[in-house]
Chains A and B, each alone.
Chain A
Amino acid sequence: MINNNTVNKVETEATTDQKMDRKDRYDVRELNHGRRVIDFLRFGFIAFIISMILVVVSFVAMFTKGFNLGQDFTGGTTVEITVTKAVNLDDIRDSLRSAGYHEPIVQYYGSSKDIMIRLPLIKQDTTNAATAVDNTLGVIIADLMHKHIDPNAAIKRVEFVGPTVGAELAQDGILAICAALICILIYIAFRFEWRFGTGAVVALAHDVVITAGYLSIFDRELDLTIIAAMLSIIGYSLNDTIVVFDRIRENFRKIRRASPYDVINISLTQTLHRTLMTSGTTLAVVVILYIFGGSMLKGFSETLGVGILLGTVSSIYVAAYMSLKLGIKREYFIPKKVEAEGADQPSILR
């Protein structure tokens, strides 16, 4: 409670300060061709704090709870079968247990006739040879199902991932995300300005971390497609951020007498419609992938959906807000050439 109050107080002070500053010199509407300007940055601080709390929560979740690592990373065997008549999952479990497999995960996916059987890699148990997981397991399970459950069961998918592969995949995935972040930082710093670069990368990291936190908290299973989704989130969020930054840069050059605070607000307002449109269509498409994409793409589209929502918000409240707080100014965007021309002039006059 007390904490909240102080936050609000600091917040209002900051904004009244800015407002007074503005009133003295110009009306912000006038700068936006007489259209209303939404004061996004008024909530900048609160939004930023909420974001940071989410980031912290995500980190805590990741380190205490960890991830539900899928088979791609842990190794193991998955068999997907489709049976012709409804069967009891317990029958399948019993059948597997009697064959010596102790920790089978058996569940429906899609309809009640589609059954997924999953066996983790088990550390070698010398007392019971049947727990040894080798690469023939898929075939054995398929045989078991044919014998005990349904002779007409169709085997749809068998996957076996060895233990060494899994560890490498996890490593590659993390490497990919880091490499992507670094490349992007370099590109933005080169195209824009380091303050923007930092803002953009912090926003991206923010999206990735919170999405990862989401996956951890809601116990979503991590597989390779999720890594692809994470990288797509980076791409998407960046896309969004760049459009905003591009407009800010342009407005810094066009509008001479506004404060950075106002320029950013004007830019955010101008791009708002576009942001909503693009996020809308992309989200719609992701929802469609979730509905029609089948079991393989469920996790992918869910992760992507969460990431797109975050990416939209973060380009406003993390990227733009951060670059403002890092002290972005109009001078940084005036091309150097103009200055050089100005310097030349006196000599011509003389």
Chain B
Amino acid sequence: MLVVVICVGLLYALPNIYGEDPAIQISGSRGAEVTVATQDKVKKLLDDNQINAKSLVFENNSILIRVGDNDTQLKAKELIATMLGENYVVALNLAPATPAWLSVLGAEPMKLGLDLRGGVHFLMEVDMTTALNKLVDQSVENLKVELTNSKLPYSSIAKEGNQQIALQFSNTDERNMALTKIKGLQDFKLVSQANNSFIVTISEQRLQQAKTDAVQQNTTILRNRVNQLGVAEPIVQRQGADRIVVELPGIQDTALAKRILGATATLEFRQVNEEGSANLAAIVNGQSRVPYGSEIQYMTNGRPVLLYKRTVLTGDHITDSSFRANEYGQPEVSITLDNAGGKTMLDFTQKNLKKPMATLFVEYKDSGKQDESGKPILEKHEEVINVATIQGIFSDRFQVTGISNIDEAKNLSLLLRAGALIAPIQIIEERTVGPSMGQENITQGLESCVWGLLVSVIFMLLMYRLFGLFASLALVANLILIVGAMSLLPGATLSMPGIAGIVLTVGMAVDANVLINERIKEELSNGRNVQLAISEGYAGAWSSIFDANLTTLITAVILYAVGTGSIKGFAITLGIGIVTSMFTSIVGTRALANLVYGGRRVNKLSI
């Protein structure tokens, strides 16, 4: 059994020594698919440019090209990216150089943390205050629609501070009817009521759902944006109630990453106030008043547009958008809406055919200022990105034309696609590790491991001679098992603190053998014969070893549970190390001892 376990451990630890090849990964995005044709095109391109690819594999809808060195990798990436255009993600990657016979067995090298391979780590926080404010605004609208549809009259419905909505009625009867209606809706909770009015708040359940939705939506959007960055193995994960972790291995240009990730944006479709627009110049100059219910917004080129304040549709109804040149060679952007959005749009276009509609881009940017609790205050920037005339009645699919060039179309579709953010997000933690630092950390980690091992081995050999050798062999086996387990476990990532955990395990793993060997020595000097001393030594030390390791394991589990990032990495290797060390230092050394001393009369032990 022992031999089998160590062989399996060795097998799965093996891929780690083969290292990694610089590689390029090509995958499709925005509907574009990687096909065999793409593969042939890429192959031809590389041949034409005399780039030697080690291998070119097409699987799982993506192409992986291995090349000899980093320069070739960069050159090839440039070429391929230019040729394929922006519908494909061409990312630099490191592909494990594991031989085929090992890959077949599912053996892969350990995943390295950002601190070892370089990259950027972001922790984003979803701005719940804004999200909830929006929810209240939306709920006010919903209430109005709900009451109107049920033919229940009301005087006014308005938002009040602290996420409450006040409803006013002209008499008590109307109030009661509305109250009955609203009590039937699960989204609201009655706070207080007076003669002709009552106040409701949003129910806890609805709030929770809104929060979850906000985080989930942001996660999805961030994932899309990250894909645009062309990173090989990005991580976008929810963490806690309102946080999202984004890890981008290998990315060095944090400014670009931030620009793309940090731009929190929403979109609104608004109707243009045509009548008011007649004296637009006067309004802008301040000579004339802005018509009621309207406001001035500016286009990117500075041209003012008079818009109704009422939103026709918000960007969260957009499910997809793409751009292309139509049959006349004009750029256009097509937009797909969800069901509810389609209905609203159908309704709106029926009433407003041949009238202009504007797309308003709303962005929340960090203003550089902070509120009392130290949270950055977000500023709202609004910009009209497009004004188009409604040419026909449509619902959930439509095209925007009249865009000056294809670049603008591309930009617009990008903004539309990413524009569905319902709550702004901000970066609250950022860690960047340069690639040289990562390499340095790996070297330092390896050095510490080797020295740690060496010192422990010397100690053991000096103190316990042959039994010290057993312990040392167990230690090596333990290292192999840890590396094997780390490679095998899908969630385990090796980080610098993780290496510290391994090194520490090397130091502490000898403890079990020290306990056993001391016990054997003691039994021998108590006059026991050799065989009995060995078995007594192992039996007597067992309970100490078990208790001691179990408590350390408890610590490791707690560290894993409450720790984040780097601490988790430490906890994982420590935990694995404890389990494997118990195995190797008890079962392993016992087997060796039996092999050498078992089944014969021995008068003296080398201990």
Q: Quick one: CB contact mask for B3-14 with A, threshold 8 Å, 1 for yes?
A: 000000000000
The answer to whether A228 and B570 have CB atoms under 8 Å apart is: yes
Given known contacts A80-B437, A278-B508, A242 and B432 CB-to-CB distance under 8 angstroms: no
What chain B residues lie within 8 Å of A198 (beta carbons)?
none
Binds A, one of B95-103, B162-170, B367-375: B367-375
How far apart are the CA atoms of A98 and B496 in the complex, in Å? 36
Q: Are B370 and A239 in contact (CB under 8 A)?
A: no
- Tell me if B347 is interfacial: C-beta within 8 Å of chain A: no
Does A324 sit at the interface, judged by CB under 8 A? no
Q: From residue B117, how far is it (CB to closest CB) to chain A in Å?
A: 13
- In the complex the two chains form, is B434's CB within 8 Å of A156's CB? yes
Q: Which of B368, B375, B430, B551 contacts A235 (CB 8 A)?
A: B551
Given the complex, which residues of B lie within 8 Å of A270, measured CB to CB? 522
Shortest C-beta distance, B195 to chain A (Å), equals: 44
Interface residues of A in 216-264 (CB under 8 A from B): 224-225, 227-228, 231-232, 234-236, 238-240, 242-243, 246-247, 250
Residues of B within 8 A of A294 (CB): 440-441, 444, 496
Say which one of B180-188, B265-273, B511-519 lies at the interface with A. B511-519
A288 B503 Cβ-Cβ under 8 A: yes
How many angstroms between the C-alpha atoms of A35 and B567 in the bound complex?
45
Q: Residue-by-residue, is A133-144 near B (CB-CB < 8 Å gives 1, otherwise 0)? A: 011101100000
User: A162-B429, A238-B552 are known contacts. Are A156 and B558 too (CB-CB below 8 A)?
Assistant: no
CA A225 – CA B563 in complex, angstroms? 10
A214 interface hit (Cβ, 8 Å) = no
Which residue of chain B lies nearest to A169 when distances are taken between CB atoms in the complex? B564
Residue on B nearest A271 in the bound complex, by CB: B518
With beta carbons under 8 angstroms apart, the residue of B115, B500, B547 that contacts A289 is B500
Q: In the complex, what residues of B have CB within 8 A of residue A240's CB? A: 548
- Chain B residues near A95: list those with CB within 8 A: none
Does A284 interact with chain B (Cβ within 8 Å)?
A: yes
In the bound complex, residues from chain A placing their C-beta under 8 Å from that of B452 are 284-285, 288-289
Given contacts A183-B558, A232-B574, A247-B544, contact A163 B497 (CB under 8 A): no
Tell me the minimal C-beta distance from B137 to chain A in angstroms: 25
A132 is an interface residue with CB less than 8 A from chain B: yes
A contact patch SS: helix
Which listed segment binds A: B37-45, B224-232, B455-463? Answer: B455-463
**CB <8 Å contact, B432 and A292:** no
Contact A246 B547 (CB under 8 A): yes
**Surface stretch bound by B, among A42-50, A172-180, A340-348:** A172-180
Within 8 A of B (CB), among A29-55: 33, 35
Is the pair A285, B431 in contact by a Cβ cutoff of 8 Å? no
> Once the chains bind, are A292 and B563 in contact (CB under 8 Å)?
no
A155 partner residues in chain B, CB cutoff 8 A: 432, 434
Chain B neighbourhood of A175, CB < 8 A: 562
Point out the residue from A135, A188, A277 that lies within 8 Å of B258, measured CB to CB. A135
Cβ of B514 and Cβ of A278 under 8 Å apart?
Answer: yes
**Within 8 Å of chain A (Cβ to Cβ): is B428?**
yes
Q: Which of B434, B452, B500, B518 has most chain A Cβ within 10 Å?
A: B500
Stretch of A11-19, A20-28, A61-69, A121-129 on the interface side: A121-129
What are the residues of chain A within 8 A of B558 when measuring CB–CB?
176, 179-180, 183, 231
Contact yes or no, B548 A242, CB < 8 A: yes
Bound Cα distance from A126 to B230, whole angstroms = 39
CB distance from A341 to the nearest CB of B (A): 22
* A232-B429 in contact given A134-B366, A157-B437, A281-B459 (Cβ < 8 Å): no
B436 contacts partner chain A, Cβ-Cβ < 8 Å: yes
A292 touches B448 (CB 8 A): yes
CB-defined interface of B335-359 with A at 8 Å, one 1/0 digit per residue? 0000000000000000000000000
B interface residue numbers (CB < 8 A to A): 115, 123, 125, 254-255, 258, 262, 366, 368-370, 373-376, 426-434, 436-437, 440-441, 444-445, 447-448, 451-452, 455-456, 459-460, 463, 496-497, 500, 503-504, 506-508, 510-511, 514-515, 518, 522, 525-526, 540, 543-544, 547-552, 554-556, 558-559, 562-567, 570-571, 574
**28 A–B contacts from the bound complex (CB under 8 Å):** A33-B525, A154-B434, A162-B427, A165-B429, A173-B562, A179-B558, A224-B567, A225-B500, A225-B566, A227-B567, A228-B559, A228-B566, A236-B508, A239-B508, A239-B549, A271-B518, A274-B518, A277-B463, A277-B514, A277-B518, A281-B455, A281-B510, A281-B514, A284-B455, A285-B503, A297-B448, A297-B497, A297-B500
Closest 7 CB pairs of A and B: A285-B507, A162-B428, A235-B555, A158-B432, A163-B374, A160-B430, A156-B437
10 additional A-B residue pairs with CB within 8 Å, beyond A160-B431, A271-B518, A293-B445: A132-B368, A135-B430, A139-B255, A160-B430, A225-B497, A231-B558, A236-B508, A242-B551, A274-B515, A281-B507
A interface residues (Cβ-Cβ under 8 A, vs B): 33, 35, 75, 80, 82, 121, 123-124, 126, 129, 132, 134-136, 138-139, 154-165, 169, 172-173, 175-176, 179-180, 183-184, 187-188, 191, 224-225, 227-228, 231-232, 234-236, 238-240, 242-243, 246-247, 250, 270-271, 273-274, 277-278, 280-286, 288-289, 291-294, 296-297, 300-301, 304
